[in-house]
Structure 1
């Protein structure tokens, strides 16, 4: 009882002293409060995750153009401007922006891919950040995400984000998407999940994510798998535990470009012209965006067989939005030396073949194995 009474008296005495100090010497009191707030702010800044935003351009960085009501030119704003335009980002993380490029993603190329891969590896090797966010145009975002997933090997997250509307349009989605991308990159739950795509409150994995609509803000879907999680200003929610990777990252050549791999699009009344031209142009691989389950005309299949005999990697994918391409259904893959893409669409199959050829993997059985284990 005596001890409790003593504590109460000491507390009252301290409070009285502080009140008296503030009344008699307000300047000293203000200085003490400012020092306390500065210390708290510094502590909060230290505690926040460190995120580096690598800007590449795209609609998310677009500026308006008067050629139409929704006209714009991709890649007009800098990464610093993008970060500054989103309220509340500084409360999620300590953020630094760097400009890698400023192009529409239709102009994305191997040189920029190599720059991104090397810079991200450097960031993580030097412990410069706890996560990376890449602002990117939506047209080829899925290919960049898939490429990076297969050349990076870090437990720290890399998040790609874009927008379908420029900042000048009503209902611009860029600020919310960027906010949520930073939130995902800064979340401890993202550790070990590799590369992700964040748009329109959803988190998608690179293997399955694809742009499904030309204008809708809900364009990114994963037709064969669904999203891996959801994000909103309040929370990050993953639907699955962290998956163990079945293969190591593929090595990059010393310099770009990657080996030439062509996509050939199947259609009715198809002949061998596209395939023969790809061979003449020096393609090291050919991906067929085939009819249905990766099929095409007899003339085209014969041309693909000739390509295999010349040492060219041939992969059957499909022009259909969803579903798997399976081996030896309508086409005798074992006999012809073909590889099937399973659930990878043609554009991602092309990226994987480029990486495989660059790493000296060209035997059909080894290429097929890579398609089964790559995520």
Structure 2
């Protein structure tokens, strides 16, 4: 029987409401990983599961230092402790960001699965226990090897690169857009994969050997009609940031005032990445930006473009190399 390590970090999946109808004011991080595991004894038919309680907090409190700590723990468990896979319970608000960071930095072919819930453990119709069971089911399945970090929710299996939280409260919040889920856990408990991740990740990644004592600061700026460049100017003058990701309109565009401020940021040595606030589509080079040394984010969301830029800046400040990373990862 395979050995799975369950790393519990909190989130709605561990939440307790004032009653069964409490879907919004519940207390996050009330139940431990052991508490959850005891409520689904069927999991132990799938695997030996050991629990490590890393934290018990809302994922809104997650910081890059927590990502680094988690990456080191996962590496240790998979290599030194020889676990066959990892399941991480996590709040849904920033789950996709933690998942993508691990997708780029964990050096292993073994399954790493992140799971959360949209309804607290105590609520009517909670998805907590089903999501937990299916995540372990995916982690022990042989097909899950070499697929990078996975997000499992609502009986769907998603790649960490494409998946995003798309709804504030709905159970089917995690979606991968037109690209679609990697696979599903079916009612007969069969794990079915329909596609494979094509971008580099985990054991293929050049970031899995990098020294991650800390990460450079990168800010995200959200563009909209009539916006000035004031926020960008403040970011530049603070001298705390190494890069800026523009969550641009449409195909990664911005206002003339933002454009001028981003140009000044580049002249100060900051790396600027153009992404889009749209949920679908690639951001590609366009003639109107040819005069500016801006990176294009491909189809990464602004929050994931930020993570890739942070990691890229630990290795290089060469813009052509960073752009190549955005195409590869």
TM-score relative to the length of structure 1: 0.83
**TM-fit CA distance, 1:135:** 0.2
d(CA) in 1 for partners of 2:199 and 2:231?
39
1:144 corresponding residue in structure 2:
98
* Residues 309-359 of structure 1 deviation map (CA, whole Å, 9 limit, x = unaligned): 111010011111111111115x32x42000111100000001111111122
* Residues 274-328 of structure 1 deviation map (CA, whole Å, 9 limit, x = unaligned): 1111112221000000111110111101110111111101001111111111111
d(CA) in 2 for partners of 1:118 and 1:295?
37
1:40 corresponding residue in structure 2:
none
Matched, 1:356 2:312: yes
CA contact under 8 A between 2:246 and 2:274: conserved in structure 1?
yes
Give runs of aligned pairs for residues 32-43 of structure 1, distance below 5 A: none
2:225 corresponding residue in structure 1:
268
CA contact under 8 A between 1:224 and 1:323: conserved in structure 2?
no
1:301 corresponding residue in structure 2:
259
Pair member with larger Rg: 1
Matched, 1:324 2:282: yes
User: Compared with structure 1, are the counterparts of its residues 247 and 97 closer, same or farther at alpha carbon in structure 2 (3 Å cutoff)?
Assistant: closer
Q: What residue ranges of structure 1 are gaps of 5+ in the alignment? A: 1-47
* Residues 177-204 of structure 1 deviation map (CA, whole Å, 9 limit, x = unaligned): 0000000000011111121000001000
d(CA) in 2 for partners of 1:327 and 1:206?
25
User: Compared with structure 1, are the counterparts of its residues 148 and 278 closer, same or farther at alpha carbon in structure 2 (3 Å cutoff)?
Assistant: same
Q: List structure 1 segments (4+ residues) > 6 angstroms apart after TM superposition.
A: none
* Residues 73-98 of structure 1 deviation map (CA, whole Å, 9 limit, x = unaligned): 11111111111112300001000000
CA contact under 8 A between 1:293 and 1:326: conserved in structure 2?
yes
Secondary structure, counterpart of 1:289 in structure 2: strand
**TM-fit CA distance, 1:232:** 3.3
CA contact under 8 A between 2:275 and 2:297: conserved in structure 1?
yes
d(CA) in 2 for partners of 1:338 and 1:243?
25
Figure out how many residues of one structure are paired with residues of the other and give that number. Answer: 322
Structure number having the greater helix percentage? 1
Give runs of aligned pairs for residues 1-375 of structure 1, distance below 5 A: 48-65=1-18, 69-70=22-23, 71-232=25-186, 234-241=189-196, 243=198, 245=200, 247-256=205-214, 258-281=215-238, 282-328=240-286, 331-332=288-289, 334-359=290-315, 361-374=316-329
**TM-fit CA distance, 1:249:** 3.0
Secondary structure, counterpart of 2:88 in structure 1: strand
Secondary structure, counterpart of 2:133 in structure 1: helix
Superposed CA RMSD in Å reads: 1.6
**TM-fit CA distance, 1:247:** 3.9
d(CA) in 2 for partners of 1:79 and 1:159?
15
Q: Specify which structure has the bigger relative contact order, considering alpha-carbon pairs within 8 angstroms and separated by 6 or more residues.
A: 2
d(CA) in 2 for partners of 1:190 and 1:321?
27
TM-score relative to the length of structure 2: 0.94
